[in-house]
A and B are shown apart, each in its own frame.
Chain A
Amino acid sequence: MLSVLIWLPIITAAFIALLPSNIPANRIRLGALTLAGIVLLWNLFILFKFDINNPGMQLQEYLPWNETLGLSYQLGVDGISILMLILNSLLTWIAIYSSSQQIERPRLFYSLILLVSGGVAGAFLAENLLLFFLFYELELIPFYLLISIWGGQKRAYAGIKFLIYTAVSGALILATFLGIVWLTGSPNFNYDSLSTQALSTVLQITLLLGILIGFGIKIPLIPLHTWLPDAYVEASAPIAILLGGVLAKLGTYGILRFGMELFPQAWSILAPSLAIWGAVSAIYGAVVAIAQKDIKRMVAYSSIGHMGYILLAAAASTSLALVGAVAQMVSHGIILAILFHLVGVVETKVGTRELDKLNGLMSPIRGLPLISGLLVLGGMASAGIPGMTGFIAEFIVFQGSFSVFPIPTLLCVVASGLTAVYFVILLNRTCFGKLDNNLAYYPKVQWYEKMPALILAVLILFLGVQPTWLVRWIEPTTTAVVATIPALEKTVTPQLALK
């Protein structure tokens, strides 16, 4: 059942790659779109099958594969990964939808996207460390190609940078995984048979640091983030959506699953520093975004800022905070997707991304009014304005973390204020003002170009006013996870907590 999510896209990817070359791009796009739609529907079906009250792994699949390596094909889904899977298949569909009808080398493009999608699904589903790593590494080359073939001007540089950073990340993760298995003397890499309780604290912390840095590159956390602005900015809009919406979640998911859940004791020791790290990341992302002159760069740095909240919530590891962390992963995924899509549309129509050149796009007849309107909505959602999913996620994070780490939480609140600052700068310079009469002969935005943003906007608003649909899947799992983490840190500052 779960395997379909992995193998259907991958098999289709292989099939598309082998198609004869005379098939027009829009046909291939349509095929890929249909397939991605089927996967999305299948994913919704799985969501339907998912038992909300069961905190553990569900719908498990097991196949012995390579016993000597300890590698087995073991899949399962819980409250955290189910949402990530939905996000993945939704954003894959959106990314394919928002790709150009006349893209060059369509067979390679769409097969790579589907390959990535299958790989990401595999990583979220894997219950075997080595299997996870295989899928994790599967992203590497396709994304490198997607950036460096269909990207912007500096795509070669950005692609290489992405490749090297991610490869290092993979190496660190693999080393840590091997360390875990050898040191605990586990016979295989199966997730549920691992326990680090027997290891000394120093060893636990060392391994956890390996995990943190390995996945921290992927999230990314400062100072491991420098690949991100280049990769996001140079990637084309659909690829940026996948990079920011899905791949970044692989990092946070890894930290939650392999950091927090495997090393509860070490986690509770490192938690205070992690909380500060998260807060600093959030502030840093916001402040650097303020200084940017390129709207895509602003959105890219906003991503770094928003990932900081997730680390803070994970560090706090109260039940509420973890719900917030996962909710933030989902809402960041859809908000970033809408923003990247809109920025992509603005760039194709206007021909620039520079804040100093953009102006007056809200103008109803000659501008891009609907796109600007949605950009305002996306910016507000990202800044945490109530009524949209961004607020829900951030507020749960703050509420859950404040009692544990009040100062970092307040810093994150400040960061969220700064987010509003740079989004207002962006919106002010882009949507408001007046059009330049010498340049403002922009082509019109077709309906199909507006659709992805409209779908995402509806989702953002719906989850903002009906957040149960966002958190109901997560809660039992996170409650169960929190129970395993020592409550040491949670009582440190009770006098500072709000009643």
Chain B
Amino acid sequence: MVQTPDKPITKLPPSTHEFAEIIHRLEAGGSMLPDTPENLMQIIGIYKAYAVPMDFYWRDLLYIAERVFLNPLPFFKYFLPKEYLERHNHYAGDDADLRIWRGEATAHPELLAFMEKGETFKMPKLFHHLFHDRINMEFAEACMRAMLWHRHMYAPVNQFDAYLDSEEYKANADRAIKAYFQGNPVMLGLYKLFPDMFLEQCRQMSYYANLGLFWEVMAPVFFEMSDIYDEGGFKGVPDAMNFLVNGIFAIAGRPIYHHVYIRGECYEIIPKSKGFTWLYEAALPYVEAVFYRTAPFRGTKSYNAQVGQVPDKQEDFHYGILYADVFPVGTAGIPPTLLMQDMLHFLPSYLVEYYKKHCRGEDDMLIQLGISFQRSMYNVTSAVIQALRTALLYPLDDQNPKHLQANREFFEAQLNRFCRPEYGMRDAARLRQIQRQDYR
């Protein structure tokens, strides 16, 4: 039941690109992921399973950015206070600014249930934490750090990043830092001696806020997609992608900011008035940093400088989920394991049934869902590519061949990222594999 046509509907001659088939699909309004009911089920199920931990991630990221701030010993930074669990998501519930998900604005009930009982039984959350029966918040921090380390990505467009180096930012941070350590001569003395140390920590906190605000949007989007699918709303993968594209445009202008709350007072380190927006300051850098780049897995690549396995230039980094090898998930030195483990708790039952029927059934569900996750992230990336094309270029049904040619060149340029021979990028890209249904 493939819905997208095999042949291009445009007037252009067939592409000669290595991924010509995928380019034709994109030109026809499709996704990089083939449109099959099985794929649709997998990606939606994973969106659902991803959204629940994400609901925790964004709340905790904002909690750390706003409340924990520069605490030198943040022992309890993963212990969300009630206030943050009840914090209303801006895009869900009755009082939403822009209602995306029709459900509740407070934390998702499945998340609350998990936080209470976990995999074991009801006990104080300190014990849940110590027995590692918890949400792997380290993964969210790793994503945040990937964004932080890959700064200067979209240089002229992305002003958020440049702003972190401005005098204005430094002045704002300075006020917050002094207020935060008020009455603590040791820390204030250290700040005097090494101001940059604290400033850099503050920048990291700004990225906590940035990612938290990004995921505050994605969680309700994924919840809503899951609900629409359950209601029979999506007919195919392109529908799911288009929902994302529309969501991206609807939300593109939402503000990105960093507020810190110290003793009941709000310090605006990055004020909303700077006009930083969700699409350019959070979404695009996130996709670039987390989907494409991140950092080489310690269990896969050698950081040995003489071996030269890891690229010198950060733009050549290719360790994001679009390139990741999911088979070693569960092994030492493979960071996505943390996320896979989180998603495992919240799989919808249809996906569990599906996984039971394949490979080793429940035994290797962690890897099967990891590969579904990879498929779903290819679909999200397709949405981003289509959104960019809509924003920067021409509609797909444009009659002017020159415009269509420009679209095609854009798509080809995007797919060329999966074809570069340097550092084995080409072999690492999983675009080829996800075209096959038996890759699981």
Contacts and interface: CB of A to CB of B under 8 A. Distances in A.
Contacts of A257: none
Interface of A: 360, 363-366, 434-435, 437, 440-441, 443-444
Contacts of A364: 330-331
B127 interface: no
B328 A443 contact: no
A365 B364 contact: yes
B359 A441 contact: yes
B325 A437 contact: yes
Given A441-B359, A443-B360, A444-B360, A365 B330 contact: yes
Contact of B363 (A365, A435, A437, A440): A365
A189 B329 CA distance: 66
A162 B243 CA distance: 70
By CB atoms of chain B within 10 A, which of A364, A365, A443 has the most? A365
Contacts of B149: none
B359 to A, nearest CB: 6
Interface of B: 300, 325, 327-331, 359-360, 363-364, 366-367, 433, 439
Given A441-B359, A444-B360, A365 B325 contact: no
20 contacts: A363-B327, A363-B328, A363-B330, A363-B331, A364-B330, A365-B329, A365-B331, A365-B363, A365-B364, A365-B366, A366-B360, A366-B364, A366-B367, A434-B327, A437-B325, A437-B433, A437-B439, A441-B359, A443-B360, A444-B360
A441 B367 CA distance: 11
A487 B327 CA distance: 63
Q: Which 10 A-B pairs have the closest CB atoms?
A: A365-B330, A444-B360, A364-B330, A365-B364, A435-B327, A437-B327, A365-B367, A366-B327, A444-B363, A366-B364
Nearest to A362: B331
A440 B360 contact: no
Nearest to A441: B359
A434 B325 contact: yes
Nearest to A436: B327
Given A440-B327, A443-B360, A444-B363, 6 more contacts: A363-B328, A365-B331, A365-B364, A365-B366, A437-B327, A437-B439
Main secondary structure of the interface of A (DSSP, over half): loop
Contacts of B439: 437
Contacts of B360: 365-366, 443-444
Nearest to B370: A365
Contacts of B364: 365-366
Contacts of B367: 365-366
By CB atoms of chain B within 10 A, which of A363, A366, A434 has the most? A366
Contacts of A437: 325, 327, 433, 439
B363 to A, nearest CB: 6
A434 B328 contact: yes
B293 to A, nearest CB: 21
A436 B21 CA distance: 26
Nearest to B360: A444
A451 B367 CA distance: 26
Contacts of A441: 359
A443 B367 CA distance: 14
B371 to A, nearest CB: 10
By CB atoms of chain A within 10 A, which of B325, B328, B329, B366 has the most? B328
A348 to B, nearest CB: 15
By CB atoms of chain B within 10 A, which of A360, A364, A440 has the most? A364
By CB atoms of chain A within 10 A, which of B330, B331, B367 has the most? B331
B328 A435 contact: yes
A385 to B, nearest CB: 23
A364 B331 CA distance: 6
Contacts of A366: 327, 359-360, 364, 367
Contacts of B359: 366, 441
A202 B2 CA distance: 88
Contacts of A363: 327-328, 330-331
Contacts of A443: 360
Nearest to A437: B327
A364 B433 CA distance: 22
A441 B325 CA distance: 15
A441 B329 CA distance: 14
Contacts of B330: 363-365
A262 to B, nearest CB: 57
A366 B337 CA distance: 13
Nearest to A435: B327
A444 B359 CA distance: 9
Contacts of B325: 434, 437
B334 to A, nearest CB: 10
A364 B299 CA distance: 13
